[in-house]
Amino acid sequence: MGYSDARAFCPDLQSHPANLQEDARFQRVLARWAKRYCPWVGLEGEDGLVLNITGSAHLFGGEDAMLHDMRARLSRAGFLSRIGLADTRGAAWALAHHAPGIAPPGQSHQAIAALPVMALRLKETVSTSLQRVGIRTIADLVAVPRATVTRRFGREVLLRLDQALGGQGEDISPVPYPPSYQMRISLPEPIGLAADVQAGVESLLDPLCARLKANDMGARKLELTLRRVDQNAQSVELRLARPMRDPHRILPLFERGIREVDAGYGIDQMRLVATQVEPQPARQITHVQGVPTDKLDDLVTRIGNRIGLENVQRFLPADSHIPERSHIIAPAAWSEPAGGWAVVRDRPIRLFAPEPVAATGRTPPRHLRWRRMTLAVERVTGPERIAPEWWLPDDNWRSGVRDYWKVETRQGRRLWMFYTPQNPGWFVQGEFA
Amino acid sequence: MTAAITDYFPLRQGRAHEVCGAGAYGFACALAGQLGGNVMWIREDWQPELLNPEGFLPFFDPRKLLFAKGQSQIDVLASGEEALSSGAVNLTVMELSKSIGLTEGRRLQLAAEAGKSTGLCIISEGMGSNAAESRWRCAPIFAPADSTLIRWEIIKNKSGTLTGWDLRWDAETRRITVVSKAGQRPAPAHARG
């Protein structure tokens, strides 16, 4: 029913926007929690789990105690749960959704006989048509000859019935463990030389990169932890400019970090973890290949690990006629070089915050004093009027439109000045080559 | 008889050079355009002036520029050394705010030689180090008929004499051309334009 109909039934009804991704993520979290009961945990629909507790019920003191434990933990966490236990998955589903409880072993037939046909996970249309012909419960469905059911309603009905009663097997596909990208090595004797540590890192890096490659992922952040004999651990973190899984390229990038590690009395355990991975699909080598940027990426990684990976930047073009905003500065590690640069008019090489100069009039003055230099203006080009982007509030452009002039002085300096007619004033904003 | 500018520009590869003066940025951009390839520009993060990619578009393609902001001059020099020795960039430009000593200058030279790339330090007047291969002073000059006239002088040269040229930058061909001395230039057709 619609929301307004529901409000008619219950005036105090509250609603929250649904967050399907979070729900899916949390379902996986619950699946991981449910692994404390048995190793075979699968997802059931969008809001349920299915567990195969064969052989693990006795560990919790019997089926009753196990279910009680589950219910208690879930309600302590604030969940309302309905749990059904039966011989088959279909019967357990039916019980969970319509009559929560336990069906004694071998008696699932009787346990689900009284349940409506919807409990068999049938489609809405099929169960409606079943009810229309008078088959309301599962016991009624069992009583009908099988051939007629198939002829009238399709094979799915009998398949579901067999699955519920045990005639047809049904598997649970458990949620797999996400692959973890970490390697560890313990050494019989402590080591201290940088070259030895490099060799150890190399032996850890090879299988790690092989695992990354098998899963089509590339590492973005690697952390090497070196445990010393006095139980202190030193770690070296490496952030990469591009997802990489080539051990030959990653190994030299560790050199600087390893050299700065204090080995103390020796290192006896090394652990390498790829803490952040990104999908890196295999790339097709085509006959039109761009220039390979391996060396440049390695350089960005090296400099980035020294001064911060966000401080290595590049320019990207932006669609704006405001001079300060005609480009975007983006970190090099997370952007690709973009073309599309087009300049219509002369622009200065250097831009700075507008510096006021004392001058009056709509055209540039003959003499001006800027940064403690007295300049005599010889030639001017302009004006070029640039209006502020009225759709963006910008404090710098509160003074209104600007008339830009290229001013050449006898002392040689070529300045980019502007005049704001709406709040009269002259400013210098840039300098040409 | 002044030496030809092609002897000294593009700058000698595998070395670190210095440039000072008001036209230093233009010099760096023109050099970047001539050398081709990637350019790394390193400066300190407190410097308030911005490089304008629309401004150096006539000189070289902004796609090839990467720039880095260090927190102190040590960061700038260390990153510059990495960039020079890596061989991934053809030109490394470093903006220096304090003068550097002989050790740092020598390290830059060794890094440039190892990576076979060119290094350029933008300095203020009078701040150069003894280890630089050459030092240039660049200033724009006013000319009635030409708005790209610049004067480039070599004020320290380890492999030649000290000379200077008046040059103009041609935007269509992206080339610098030497112009003759002031007296021999054509008179302007009209006075102030």
| A336 three-state secondary structure | coil
- A263 and A317 share a domain? no
- A66 and A116 share a domain? yes
- A91 and A124 share a domain? yes
Beta bridge partners of A367: A376
Its ipTM equals: 0.85
Q: Which range is least confidently modeled, A73-87, A255-269, A276-290?
A: A276-290
Alpha-carbon gap, residue B5 to A336, rounded angstroms: 36
Q: Which of chain A's residues have a Cβ under 8 Å away from the Cβ of B54? A: 323, 326-327, 341, 343, 347
pLDDT at residue B191, rounded to an integer: 43
pLDDT at residue B182, rounded to an integer: 62
| Cis before A383 (ω within 30) | yes
Which residues neighbour A252 within 8 Å (Cβ) at sequence distance 6 or greater?
A298
Question: In this structure, are residues A417 and A426 in contact, taking their beta carbons and an 8 Å threshold?
Answer: yes
Nearest Cα residue to B12 out of B99, B98, B84, B112 = B112
pLDDT at residue A174, rounded to an integer: 87
Question: In this structure, are residues A354 and A428 in contact, taking their beta carbons and an 8 Å threshold?
Answer: yes
The one-letter amino acid code at A100 reads: P
Q: Considering the domain boundaries, does residue A177 fall inside one? A: no
Interface residue A350 vs chain B (CB under 8 A): yes
H/E run at residue A220: strand A217-228
- A369 and A424 share a domain? yes
Buried/exposed code over B160-177 (b: 16+ C-beta within 10 A; e: otherwise): eeebebbbbbeeeeeebe
Alpha helices, DSSP H, located in A13-153: 20-34, 63-76, 89-98, 108-113, 124-132, 138-143, 146-153
Cα B69–Cα B74–Cα B75 angle in degrees, nearest 5:
30
Alpha-carbon gap, residue A34 to A38, rounded angstroms: 7
Mean per-residue pLDDT, A297-318: 89
Say yes or no for a CB contact (<8 Å) between A349 and B51: yes
Report the CATH number that the domain containing residue B105 is assigned in CATH.
3.40.50.300
Give the CA dihedral A91, A97, A99, A100, nearest 10 degrees. 90
Which one of A131, A165, A199 terminates a domain? A165
pLDDT band at A31 (very low <50, low <70, confident <90, very high): very high
Say yes or no for a CB contact (<8 Å) between B142 and A409: yes
Alpha-carbon gap, residue A257 to A251, rounded angstroms: 11
The tally of domains found in chain A comes to 4
Which one of A115, A138, A165 terminates a domain? A165
Neighbours of A234 (CB within 10 A): 17
Strands (E), A290-431: 312-317, 327-331, 350-357, 367-370, 373-386, 402-409, 414-419, 426-431
Asked if residue A400 has pLDDT above 60, the reply is yes
pLDDT band at A20 (very low <50, low <70, confident <90, very high): very high
pLDDT in tens, A127-166: 899 889 988 888 888 888 888 888 888 888 888 888 888 8
Q: Considering the domain boundaries, does residue B101 fall inside one? A: yes
- A128 and A214 share a domain? no
Alpha-carbon gap, residue A320 to A327, rounded angstroms: 8
| A236 three-state secondary structure | strand
Average pLDDT, rounded, for chain B: 84
**For residue A31, what are its two tokens?**
């699946």
Asked if residue A72 has pLDDT above 90, the reply is yes
Tokens 């990104």 map to which residue?
A: A278
- A338 and A355 share a domain? no
pLDDT in tens, A172-190: 888 888 888 999 999 999 9
Alpha-carbon gap, residue A27 to A21, rounded angstroms: 10
- A159 and A187 share a domain? no
Tokens 């979070």 map to which residue?
A: A22
pLDDT at residue A77, rounded to an integer: 92
H/E run at residue A237: strand A233-244
Alpha-carbon gap, residue A154 to A120, rounded angstroms: 14
Q: Between A314, A408, A412, which is nearest B65 by CB?
A: A314
Q: Considering the domain boundaries, does residue B150 fall inside one? A: no
Pairing of strands B65-70, B39-44: parallel
- A40 and A121 share a domain? yes
| B1 three-state secondary structure | coil
Tokens 């990976």 map to which residue?
A: A309
pLDDT at residue B2, rounded to an integer: 57
Alpha-carbon gap, residue B42 to B94, rounded angstroms: 5
- A48 and A158 share a domain? yes
pLDDT at residue A204, rounded to an integer: 93
The pLDDT tens digits along chain B (193 residues) read 456 677 777 788 889 999 998 889 989 998 888 888 899 999 998 888 888 888 888 888 888 899 899 999 999 999 999 999 988 899 999 999 888 889 999 999 999 999 999 999 999 887 878 888 889 999 988 888 777 888 888 888 888 888 888 888 777 777 777 777 665 555 555 444 3
Nearest Cα residue to B66 out of B86, B54, B83, B48 = B83
Question: In this structure, are residues B94 and B80 in contact, taking their beta carbons and an 8 Å threshold?
Answer: yes
Say yes or no for a CB contact (<8 Å) between A296 and B148: no
pLDDT at residue B8, rounded to an integer: 76
| Nearest-CA distance A379 → chain B (Å) | 6
Asked if residue A57 has pLDDT above 80, the reply is yes
Size of the A and B interface in Cβ pairs below 8 Å: 146
**For residue A419, what are its two tokens?**
């005049």
- A56 and A137 share a domain? yes
Question: In this structure, are residues A160 and A90 in contact, taking their beta carbons and an 8 Å threshold?
Answer: yes
The tally of domains found in chain B comes to 1
**For residue A221, what are its two tokens?**
């952040």
**For residue A148, what are its two tokens?**
């007629």
Strands (E), A255-349: 267-279, 312-317, 327-331
Say yes or no for a CB contact (<8 Å) between B25 and A306: no
Alpha-carbon gap, residue A191 to A248, rounded angstroms: 23
pLDDT in tens, B73-126: 999 999 999 999 988 899 999 999 888 889 999 999 999 999 999 999 999 887
Residue A14 falls in which region: left (phi positive, over 0), alpha (psi -120 to 50) or beta: beta
Q: Considering the domain boundaries, does residue B83 fall inside one? A: yes
Alpha carbon A284 to its chain centroid, in Å, reads 25
Q: Considering the domain boundaries, does residue B40 fall inside one? A: yes
Asked if residue A192 has pLDDT above 80, the reply is yes
**For residue A6, what are its two tokens?**
């529901």
pLDDT at residue A167, rounded to an integer: 84
Q: Which domain holds residue B96?
A: 5-136
Residue B160 falls in which region: left (phi positive, over 0), alpha (psi -120 to 50) or beta: left
Task: Give which of B63, B85, B149, B192 to mutate to test A binding, by max A Cβ within 10 Å.
Answer: B63
For B23, name the nearest residue in chain A, comparing CA atoms only.
Answer: A433
Q: Between A317, A349, A410, which is nearest B56 by CB?
A: A349
Beta bridge partners of A271: A184, A225
Q: Which domain holds residue A267?
A: 182-281+293-300
pLDDT band at A395 (very low <50, low <70, confident <90, very high): confident
Q: Considering the domain boundaries, does residue B28 fall inside one? A: yes
